Structure 1
Amino acid sequence: MAADGPGIDPMHQFLVEPVMGHRLAFGGYDLSFTNSALFMVIVFAALWLFMLGGMKRALVPGRWQIAVEGVTNFVSSMVQANIGAEGRRFTPYVFSLFMFILFANLIGLIPLGVVPGWHPFTVTSHITVTAVLAFVSFAIVLIVGFARHGFHFFSLFVPLGTPKVMIPLIFVIELASFLVRPFSLGLRLFVAMTAGHILLDVFASFVVQGLNSGPGIGWLVSLLSFVMIVGVSALELLVSAIQAYVFALLTSLYLNDAVNLH
């Protein structure tokens, strides 16, 4: 969060900036290590520590191991329920998606703004990141679909029982719906995370402006805004988990179409 007079600029948290303000240029390209890259490293490090602590395979599992095994079984069950027994081969990818998005969402909620000069950065609040995740998933669906079914994969766009005279129209509609999937997949996560963080900063701005306005109605506004921040933060924790689940769930459903042509 960046102060802008008595208020707070809600969009500052989304700026991609070089760490410590130092830019590195080479051959006309900006190779600076940015806050976006820093938080991606933090996300991967947190994931590595989480998985490392839960893969000890102790005879009597501790809480950490139980947590890791619980998440793994949860994703594995979801994938197999949506794809079937063949879904096991896709479990590592869907699990990686789910965990990366979940950790990125949660780490972006760490209140670093209380430290002068620091602010949290949510990598999933950038369309470039969510779009890459969505298009990689879509590319895997296409590869699996054509590798398994060849050109018969196009039958996915013609539902069983479609009258022959309607096939051209239905094919175009189903194909357009299929091609929109990666865009909706990436936009859903991007919009959900961006909107929540903007809302938090707006209420934070009300808190600052209320305190600066002095005793009376200003302090009451600050108190109410702070209560809203607490409530929205709790909601954001829930949204962070839900968005990770939805992204993983939809990916498994799209893979089911590629594997089983449903």
Structure 2
Amino acid sequence: MRRIFFFDLNLVGGGQAAASPLDQFEIVPLIPFHIGNFYFSFTNPSLFMLLTLTFFLLLLYFVTKRGGGNLVPNAWQSLVELLYDFVLNLVKEQIGGGNGKQLFFPCILVTFLFLLFCNLQGMIPYSFTVTSHFLITLSLSFSLFIGITIVGFQRHGLHFFSFLLPAGVPLPLAPFLVLLELISYCFRALSLGIRLFANMMAGHSLVKILSGFAWTMLCMNEIFYFLGALGPLFIVLALTGLELGVAILQAYVFTILICIYLNDAINLH
């Protein structure tokens, strides 16, 4: 008489399903809302974006209304002034210091601070990383890219198309170079969204995998597994610090690329 054993690879000890590292990116509708075939539910990304915006506005309010203008600035005022000066110097270096060019400074400052706070908020346990979703980062990058293109046409009119043709190109090669430059120009918005989304999603997934592995080994009853978990545990701590640096760096990279693209649209070649 044969005995048949069934094994489910999705189950671990205790009969519980193994958690996927991608579960942290799941979109959960908190307040379902439908209008016909349109879906306008308030989800967890909407909640955390609202929390980020609220924290940002409250920080600026208390700094400017309660602590602004002090001869000896407090810690919060120093932080806001540091961020302000950092983005202002970035705009001056990449675009220029003229008054007309600094009209774009508020948009760049808000973009940098929004991405910075969203990325840092995603490092808090049991929070949600808004910038780990491709649709959110792509919407932001395409919105800014369309705005930069409009600025280019406002400044130069139809002469803005000369951006697609470098100077001194032989006439027979012009159609091919124009096509290549057009494709490259359009892919700028796509690369902006993909870069931010991929770095944040990959980093958080890796931290989740290694932390789950270390926690499983720590929960083992044998001393061998407990000692073996110390290595992955230290790796998780180091990787968390690295991910914190990546969160800050990605906000900076996104902002500096926006400044470079805006400088190209204003100054052409």
TM-score, scaled to structure 1:
0.90
2:76 is equivalent to residue 64 of structure 1: yes
2:269 is equivalent to residue 257 of structure 1: no
2:124 is equivalent to residue 110 of structure 1: yes
1:23–1:32 contact (8 Å) kept in structure 2: yes
Pairwise CA distance, 1:7: 4.5
CA-based RMSD? 1.8
Pairwise CA distance, 1:188: 0.2
Question: Secondary structure of the residue that 1:8 maps to in structure 2?
Answer: coil
Q: Structure 2 unaligned runs (5+)?
A: 1-10
Q: Counterpart of 1:41?
A: 50
Match of 2:87 among 68, 71, 75: 75
Q: Distance in 2 between matches of 1:32 and 1:212?
A: 39
Match of 2:61 among 42, 45, 52: 52
1:130–1:189 contact (8 Å) kept in structure 2: yes
Deviations 1:139-174 (A, max 9, x none): 111100111111110111111222222212211111
1:7–1:206 contact (8 Å) kept in structure 2: no
Q: Distance in 1 between matches of 2:79 and 2:215?
A: 39
2:235 is equivalent to residue 225 of structure 1: no
Q: Counterpart of 2:101?
A: 87
The runs of at least 4 aligned residues of structure 1 exceeding 6 Å deviation read none
Greater Cα offset, 167-176 or 97-106: 167-176
Matches within 5 A, 1:141-156: 141-156=148-163
Letter matched to residue 232 of structure 2: S
Distance 1:170 1:31, change over 3 A: closer
Pairwise CA distance, 1:218: 1.8
Match of 1:170 among 170, 177, 181: 177
Deviations 1:23-51 (A, max 9, x none): 34443444432111111111101111222
Letter matched to residue 209 of structure 1: T
Q: Distance in 2 between matches of 1:195 and 1:228?
A: 16
Q: Distance in 2 between matches of 1:75 and 1:124?
A: 20
Percent sequence identity over matched residues? 39
Question: Secondary structure of the residue that 1:55 maps to in structure 2?
Answer: helix
Distance 1:29 1:221, change over 3 A: farther
Distance 1:26 1:158, change over 3 A: closer
Matches within 5 A, 1:109-148: 109-111=123-125, 119-148=126-155
Q: How many residues align?
A: 251
Matches within 5 A, 1:166-245: 166-245=173-252
Q: Distance in 2 between matches of 1:177 and 1:26?
A: 38
Q: Distance in 1 between matches of 2:219 and 2:80?
A: 46
Greater Cα offset, 3-12 or 170-179: 3-12
Pairwise CA distance, 1:209: 2.1
Deviations 1:195-214 (A, max 9, x none): 01100110122023213432
Question: Secondary structure of the residue that 1:159 maps to in structure 2?
Answer: coil
Q: Counterpart of 2:21?
A: 10
1:207–1:226 contact (8 Å) kept in structure 2: yes
Larger radius of gyration: 2
Deviations 1:41-66 (A, max 9, x none): 11101111222233243231222112
Pairwise CA distance, 1:183: 0.4
Letter matched to residue 79 of structure 1: V
The structure whose RCO (Cα within 8 Å, separation 6+) is larger is: 1
TM-score, scaled to structure 2:
0.87
Q: Distance in 1 between matches of 2:28 and 2:17?
A: 23
Greater Cα offset, 76-85 or 245-254: 76-85
Q: Structure 1 unaligned runs (5+)?
A: 112-118
